[in-house]
Structure 1
Amino acid sequence: MSYITKHKEGAAGQPLFLTFHGTGGDESQFHDFASQLLPQAHVISPRGDVSEHGANRYFRRTGEGVYDMDDLATRTKAMASFINAEKAEAGADTAIGLGYSNGANILAAVAFEQPDLVDDLILMHPLIPWTPAPQPGLKGRRILITAGERDPICPAPLTKALADYLTAQGADVTVHWHSGGHEIAQSEVTAITDFIGAR
């Protein structure tokens, strides 16, 4: 699988930082943000290869919060292969993933299937409307979830269910809430900065 990407080569021995945009975003949405967070890291940002009425996405859906699960499975496998290849290309032993909304969902889906690929995950406003199978490989993974208490797209109960699932798998989960909706609040940026700084 090949994606249109934005790429920054980092220093030898530094982690690979992957960023995944939200619906309608592109490879530039969080690329520079990742570079600011970890200036020495390799940064790769793939553009979703699904078009929803012209909006870039990482997998198909049939309605708001209604996923094409077969398509998600296919594209999760493809994304996992992409991440594996990029880690090898960068010579990176560790990887960090940051995704927003649809980007958080594909990142989480990869972690459910191949938890060894990404060590630290930043899931901004994820929406996982199913109960993933148990995944002991998530044990010890550092995961930050950021969310809005009144997010109409990613309802708070589903965010809490995802956090509970990840905690039950033994992941090191931090959840940051802001009082708004689906927008990215400044407090999220601070929480992400702190999460990366604690590595």
Structure 2
Amino acid sequence: MTTTTDIAGFVHRFEPGSDPARPPLLLLHGTGGDEADLLPLGRALAPGAALLSPRGRVLENGSPRFFRRLAEGVFDEADVIRRSGELAGFVAEARRTYGLPAPVALGFSNGANIAAATLLLHPEALAGAVLIRPMVPLSEPPETDLGAKPVLILSGAFDPIVPAENARALAATLERAGARIEHRTLPTGHGLGQADLALARAWLTDQRAPETV
């Protein structure tokens, strides 16, 4: 059963889980996606996990995003900070509503960027993350303690949007903050491919749900 509703100003979909050993997934779409976009991916990568999928609240030429940008690859960092706080508030309210432990974020492109920002600014909101084609979201990241939260970063060697050094800088930033980083660079561009799916599926299989909500 899929529920579509509004919590904390976010239109979203929620699918209850059937496997309590799997942490819930917070599905964060790329530019132009919506709350339905990553549900099939979540089902394929983590069968039995609860799925929580919000729609980004910012519109760019009619396309939903999770925060504003000034140009491709140039973020409105004040908006990044604001919107990551809103997303953390949504996660907290959704956890209370649905009785969930902290989720693992699964984000693609813009969704991966807001997930990375949320990890840095509101680490209590997430149990970890799969970041597919992310960039550094904040030029001056805050000091934070990620307490060994697991993070998988999947970058593309031929990505025309995310320079390789930018992806490496994000991995280094999260590692300095205490995250357990696995960073893989694949021989592909910005799009999602089968190698991403295989790596993400295996990584998620290794994760375990928190003992308590």
What band does the TM-score fall into relative to the shorter chain?
over 0.9
Mapped to 1, the partners of 2:100 and 2:56 lie a distance apart of: 23
Partner of 1:108: 116
Alignment of 1:33-182 (within 5 A): 33-128=41-136, 130-136=139-145, 138-182=146-190
Q: CA RMSD in A?
A: 1.6
**Consecutive unaligned residues in structure 1, runs of 5 or more:** none
Q: What letter corresponds to residue 123 of structure 1 in structure 2?
A: L
TM-aligned CA deviation for residue 90 of structure 1: 2.1
Mapped to 1, the partners of 2:49 and 2:98 lie a distance apart of: 10
Checking the alignment, whether the CA contact within 8 Å between 2:81 and 2:121 is kept in structure 1 is: no
For residue 19 of structure 1, give the secondary structure of its aligned residue in structure 2: strand
| 1:8 equivalent among 4, 15, 36 | 15
For residue 98 of structure 1, give the secondary structure of its aligned residue in structure 2: strand
Is 1:198 matched with 2:206?
A: yes
Using the aligned pairs only, state the percent identity: 33
TM-aligned CA deviation for residue 26 of structure 1: 1.5
Mapped to 2, the partners of 1:174 and 1:95 lie a distance apart of: 18
Is 1:26 matched with 2:9?
A: no
Checking the alignment, whether the CA contact within 8 Å between 1:42 and 1:90 is kept in structure 2 is: no
CA deviation string 1:92-115 (max 9, x = no partner): 223111000100111111111111
TM-aligned CA deviation for residue 23 of structure 1: 0.7
Taking a change above 3 Å as real, the CA distance of residues 131 and 186 of structure 1, as seen in their structure-2 partners, is farther
For residue 36 of structure 1, give the secondary structure of its aligned residue in structure 2: helix
Instruction: State TM-score, norm by structure 2.
Output: 0.87
Q: What letter corresponds to residue 34 of structure 2 in structure 1?
A: D
Mapped to 2, the partners of 1:40 and 1:102 lie a distance apart of: 26
Instruction: State TM-score, norm by structure 1.
Output: 0.93
For residue 14 of structure 2, give the secondary structure of its aligned residue in structure 1: strand
Mapped to 2, the partners of 1:184 and 1:12 lie a distance apart of: 26
TM-aligned CA deviation for residue 76 of structure 1: 1.1
Mapped to 1, the partners of 2:167 and 2:182 lie a distance apart of: 12
Checking the alignment, whether the CA contact within 8 Å between 1:16 and 1:90 is kept in structure 2 is: no
Taking a change above 3 Å as real, the CA distance of residues 12 and 152 of structure 1, as seen in their structure-2 partners, is closer
